[in-house]
A = this chain, B = another copy of it.
Amino acid sequence: MSSRITLPKKIFVSVDSVIFGYRDRQLFVPLFRRRVQGGGEPFPDCWSLPGGPLLDGETFEAACRRKLEEDIGLKIEYLEQLYTFGAPERDPRDRAISVSYFAFIRWPENPLVAGRDAREARWFPLDAIPTGPFAFDHREILDTAIQRLRGKLLYQPIGLNLLDDEFSMADLLAIYEAVLPRKLDRRNFSKKILSFKLLTPSRVVARARGRPTQLFRFDRKIYQSLQREGFSIGT
C-alpha cells in the first residue's frame, strides 16, 4: 500500500516569477504590493513577485505564462526555472512550496496592471529594490534570481532577449554593466561579441547627440548554438 496517500498533508504549490526588463540603460524588475485589507491573506501591504497557484493539469511554464501574459500583459521572451523554495514555515497558513521562474521580457508599451490581488504594481531598477517588507520569502527568491542573472549572462547569450529586434552595442553593454560588479571596456566588449558572429548589422540611426549608432539584429541559429555550447564574456 502506498504510503503517499496517507502520510503528508496537503501541500500548496505556487509558481512565482522574477521578471527582468531593460530600459534606459537600466534593468528593472516588477513588484506588486499586496492589498491591505487582508481577508485572510497574509503579508498585507508587502511587496511580492507575480505568481499564483499551479492549476490542475497545468505545467509550471504554463502557469507562469498564464499569470504573466494573461494577467499582467507581458510578453515573455525567455523563461527558465530558477529554484524551488519550500521552507516549512514560509507560508504562515499551510505548507506551501514555490517553484520559481526567471524570465526576460522586452520592454512593454503599456504600463503594468496591478491585477486583482495587488493594490500597486511598479517596475523597480535593480539598484533601488524597495527596502520595505516582502511577502513570504520573495526577497530571497528575487536575490536568487539576480545572482543567477549575474552568473548566466557571462556564459550564455540570453541577455539578447531583453532587447528589441534592433539594438545597439551600447545597449547590450549596458545590460552587462547593470548586472556585473565592474565596468567593462566598451571596445573589448564589442570585439568579443562580434567575434561570435552572432550579430548582423542592420541600420545606422541617430539617437541623441553624438555619432549615430550602428544597430544590430541577432541570428537565431547562432544564438541557439551559443546557448547550447556556452560562450564567455568578460571572463
For residue A206, which residues in chain B have a CB less than 8 angstroms away from its CB? none
Tell whether, in the assembled complex, residue A97 and residue B13 are in contact, meaning their CB atoms are under 8 Å apart.
Answer: yes
Tell whether, in the assembled complex, residue A54 and residue B86 are in contact, meaning their CB atoms are under 8 Å apart.
Answer: yes
Give the distance to chain B from A179, nearest Cβ to Cβ, in Å.
15
State A87–B60 Cα separation when bound (angstroms): 8
State A215–B225 Cα separation when bound (angstroms): 40
State A95–B59 Cα separation when bound (angstroms): 11
Taking the complex as formed, is A208 at the interface, i.e. its CB lies under 8 A from any CB of chain B? no
Near B by CB (< 8 A), chain A positions 18-40 give 39-40
CB-CB under 8 A for A56 and B86, given A39-B1, A41-B2 = no
For residue A55, which residues in chain B have a CB less than 8 angstroms away from its CB? 7-8
What copy number does this chain have within its complex?
2
Give the distance to chain B from A186, nearest Cβ to Cβ, in Å.
24
Tell whether, in the assembled complex, residue A54 and residue B99 are in contact, meaning their CB atoms are under 8 Å apart.
Answer: no
Taking the complex as formed, is A210 at the interface, i.e. its CB lies under 8 A from any CB of chain B? no
CB-CB under 8 A for A13 and B8, given A59-B88, A86-B54, A99-B84 = yes
User: A49-63 toward B: CB 8 Å interface, digit per residue (1/0)?
Assistant: 000111111111000
Tell whether, in the assembled complex, residue B81 and residue A83 are in contact, meaning their CB atoms are under 8 Å apart.
Answer: yes
For residue A12, which residues in chain B have a CB less than 8 angstroms away from its CB? 4, 8
Tell whether, in the assembled complex, residue B4 and residue A53 are in contact, meaning their CB atoms are under 8 Å apart.
Answer: yes
Taking the complex as formed, is A11 at the interface, i.e. its CB lies under 8 A from any CB of chain B? yes
CB-CB under 8 A for A53 and B13, given A39-B1, A86-B60 = no
